[in-house]
Structure 1
Amino acid sequence: MKELQEIINAFDAAQAHGKQTALATVVHVEGSSYRRAGARMLVTDDGQLTGAISGGCLEGDALRKARLVMAEQKPMLVTYDTTDDDDAKLGVGLGCNGIIQILIEPINPEDSNNPIALLRPILANRENAVVITVFNMNDRQQRQYGTCMLVNANGTYTGNRPQGIVTDELAVYALQVLQFGDQYNKIYRNANGYTCFIELLQPAIALVIAGAGNDALPLIQMAKVLGWHVTLADGRANYVTAARFPSADTLITARPDELLPQLTIDARTVFMLMTHNFNYDMSLLKNLLPLAVKYIGILGPKKRLSRMLAELAGVEAEDEIAIPANVYGPAGLNLGSEDAGEIALSIIAQIQGVMNNKDAQPLREKGYIHERGVV
């Protein structure tokens, strides 16, 4: 989501300076590629690039084709085939062993349904949305409809619905992606020779950190690098200051029972309890346990967490207490972390894995890096 925000900011800046723009989107991948379907890059007529569609090897050629698209004001589907080991003949030297389809669309600011206009509302609301992109790999001379429709969280559609392609049946698939995005966040459907790429876009992760100690600093900084929204809370007013935590989006001074009413909690909200105050963390944990949040991290040893849960349950045998599936204590992955920065890295990595339903296994143990889209 951070990349999309940067693309829209770059588009607004380009418009302010009277520049033409085009949007390049990875719409289909066979085999391996650096970026998977859904990766986007904004191109201006003077060669400025925002976002990425590869590790840097496709961007130069995409820039040349984007200038052609801007001149003709007509979308273009470009194929990069690197399944041949001698891919240097393409002039890009990818070495990825995949076939990558890039759709390049001109952005006409006067068109209320241009790709940027459709994508912009996603950032304004913390709600899931589905984007439908339509292209034709069989006959590139046919019209490439491109980024044409947005399905909002309430199931309403905006944009241009290509007749005979985005059928009622396909609209049902889009609603399924919206509802069951954890299982199907990218799928493809074929209709009258066209391929319809149905993609789920989710809000940025909202990280709520309870604890304004110095060890919260690297955690906030890393979260902001990823584009997360960060709220920092603590009961000590002299600790929760903008001077100490300039990167935090929201600062709250509150007791444990006062915090949650001041927050808007959704499916993309996660919590990290690190006040180093046993009673504060336990009181906040008590309020969080009934909520359907995917990640509650707690700093400190497992025995500390077991004691909290035992006291909350009113029992003495700490070893008999089951830790809820959404509670992670000690928080973080086993990276051998020692200092605050390394611990923050392990926590951020764990949250990313949990929110993406991944088990954080080494990539070398997988057959491929990215999940394949459901066809």
Structure 2
Amino acid sequence: MSFAEYARIGGKEGRSMERRQIVDLWRQGTASVLVTLVGSEGSTYRRPGARLMISSSGEYAGTISGGCLEAEVIRKAAWMVRQGAIVERYSTLFDDTAEIPFGLGCGGTVDLLIEPTGTPEFEALVSAIGDSLRGHESRVVTFLPGNGRGLRRAIYDTDGNVIFASDRVDRVKLDCARELQPGQVYEGRFVEELLAPQRLFVMGAGDDAKPLVSMAALLGWHVTVADGRVQFARAERFPAAESVMNAELAVREMRKDDAVVLMTHSYEQDRELLERILPLGPRYLGLLGARHRSALLVSETAARIGWSVAACCDRIYAPVGLDLGGDGPEAIALAVIAEVQACCMGKLGVSRKLRSEDVDEQIAKGGANHYLQAQCALDAAS
């Protein structure tokens, strides 16, 4: 599987916030040890690629388990890497007789790469992690220490060019590593992808957009809030957003792997935006509003852009969000975030998304006509 194919099917694994915290701790200049989960068997809380950064004062960022291993690793990490990086195996099976330390009843076994800071390999990795948060993706191949060999590392950009390589890396193995699957160990080489955070465009800067932006930011997503009404599109209203801008500019910046939620509460603005965003084919496009309102929007948009209703429905999630129950902006935000996360990770099951049959049904029974296309209060304020 190529890098592009891996990213397209949901490689954004949801560790962006952890990476931000690790980079922040590194920038403080007190980091002493980096722990990376490179292998797991059985039931484990985290998957390969999870990390824990430890400072000289015992402060830490990230996690490598559900809390059962962190204290032990933090306590011993500095001592364990006195002679350089090591790989240590921990069992979370509840077995007092096990040779692997130490059973805590979680049900699995993990292999941890524990490496000291200050090496070229460490600096290259953390720099690449920081770059990934700014949208510069890369592939990292770590040659694990053991059998008298020290840790070595190679980092590639998305075109396969070598960004960094340890002096002792075998060039033949380096060339072969370009095509290895991420998240696995191959002949002592741990392969991973450092992908950019999921980007979310919130089209509409009303008050109900605030909890949506806050929740997305907690996941480490890159959130852009956009609105054509300058009195709403203000940075101070959305401190958790990476950027707040005009809707016209936001549409020009959208890519196919982005998630977009239309929630202007203005029928005319939603229709105009839907007409422009649909052909871009974002990974997720959600439309806030009642089912009959969405049916009318889709029907009119399909006619305006010359698409079939079915083709439009294939690219839209409406009503937006999973059916989690609850009411109010926070509950709606949770439902939307859950659906975006599931969609982008390829885990979406049953969705309420609008089908072409639903549009036909609403139009036929006149339900859509009950939506009054009078000027919205938010339109009047623009």
Q: TM-score range by the shorter chain?
A: 0.7 to 0.9
2:3 — aligned with what?
none
CA RMSD of aligned residues (A): 2.7
Q: What CA deviation, in whole Å up to 9, does each residue of 1:231-290 have, x standing for no partner? A: 111222222223432322222234xx55423x3x33442111001111111111111111
Residues 1-375 of structure 1: pairs in structure 2 closer than 5 A: 1-13=16-28, 15=29, 19=30, 21-72=32-83, 74-86=84-96, 93-108=103-118, 114-124=124-134, 126-135=135-144, 140-145=146-151, 148-160=153-165, 162-163=169-170, 166-173=173-180, 177=181, 185-190=182-187, 195-254=188-247, 259-261=250-252, 263=253, 265-314=254-303, 321-359=310-348
Shift of 1:322: 4.8
The range that moved more, 345-354 or 153-162, is 153-162
SS at match of 2:268: helix
SS in 2 for 1:41: strand
Partner of 1:366: none
Per-residue displacement from partner, 1:62-81 (whole Å, max 9, x unpaired)? 12331114533x00111112
The amino acid that maps onto 1:224 is: A
Residues in 1 aligned to 2:88 and 2:122: alpha-carbon distance in whole angstroms: 25
**Number of the residue aligned with 1:365:** none
Distance 1:297 1:87, change over 3 A: farther
Change (3 A) 1:268 1:156: same
Residues 22 and 107, structure 1, Cα contact 8 Å, conserved in 2: yes
Amino acid at match of 2:338: A
Counterpart CA distance in 1 for 2:198 and 2:36 is: 23
1:87/1:95 contact within 8 Å kept: no
| Aligned counterpart, 1:372 | none
Distance (whole Å) between structure 1 residues aligned to residue 21 and residue 262 of structure 2: 30
Who is 2:380 aligned against?
A: none
Q: Counterparts of 2:241 and 2:123 in 1: how far apart (Å)?
A: 34
Q: Percent sequence identity over matched residues?
A: 32
Q: CA deviation at 1:57?
A: 1.2
Distance (whole Å) between structure 2 residues aligned to residue 75 and residue 88 of structure 1: 24
Quick one: distance in 2 between partners of 1:243 and 1:338?
Answer: 26
Contact 1:149 1:157 in 2 (8 A): yes
Does the Cα contact within 8 Å between 1:206 and 1:228 map onto a contact in 2?
Answer: yes
The Cα shift of 1:230 comes to 1.6
The 3 A distance-change label for structure 1 pair 45 and 303 is same
Query: Which sections of structure 1, spanning at least 5 residues, go unmatched?
Result: 178-184, 362-375
Structure 2, unaligned stretches of length 5 or more?
1-15, 351-382
Q: Is the 8 A contact 2:91 2:103 kept in 1?
A: no
Q: Is the 8 A contact 1:274 1:281 kept in 2?
A: yes
Q: Which runs of 4+ in 1 moved over 6 A?
A: 87-91
Aligned 8 A contact 2:139 2:156 in 1? yes
Structure 1 residues 216 and 303: CA distance shift in structure 2, 3 A: same
Q: 1:20 & 1:211 partners in 2: Cα distance?
A: 40
Q: What is the CA deviation profile of residues 3-31 of structure 1, one whole-angstrom value per residue up to 9, with x for unaligned ones?
A: 11211110110x2xxx4511000000011
Asked if structure 2 preserves the Cα contact closer than 8 Å seen for 1:310 and 1:321, the reply is no
Residues 1:8 and 1:311: Cα distance change in structure 2 (over 3 Å): same
Structure 2 counterpart of 1:30, which letter?
A: E
Q: CA distance change for structure 1 residues 360 and 33 in 2, over 3 Å: closer, same or farther?
A: farther
Q: Which moved more, 1:48-57 or 1:84-93?
A: 84-93
| Bigger helix fraction | 2
Secondary structure at the counterpart of residue 247 of structure 1: coil
Higher RCO, Cα 8 Å, sep 6+: 2
Distance 1:5 1:104, change over 3 A: same
* Cα deviation, residue 35, structure 1: 0.8
After superposition, the C-alpha distances for 1:124-151 in whole angstroms (9 at most, x for unaligned) are 3x14321112226xxx4432425x1212
Q: Is the 8 A contact 2:140 2:156 kept in 1?
A: yes
Counterpart AA for 2:141: I
Contact 2:141/2:177, CA 8 A, preserved across alignment: no
Structure 1 residues 154 and 5: alpha-carbon distance in aligned structure 2, compared to 1, 3 A threshold? same
Count of aligned positions = 331
Counterparts of 1:33 and 1:165, CA distance in 2: 34
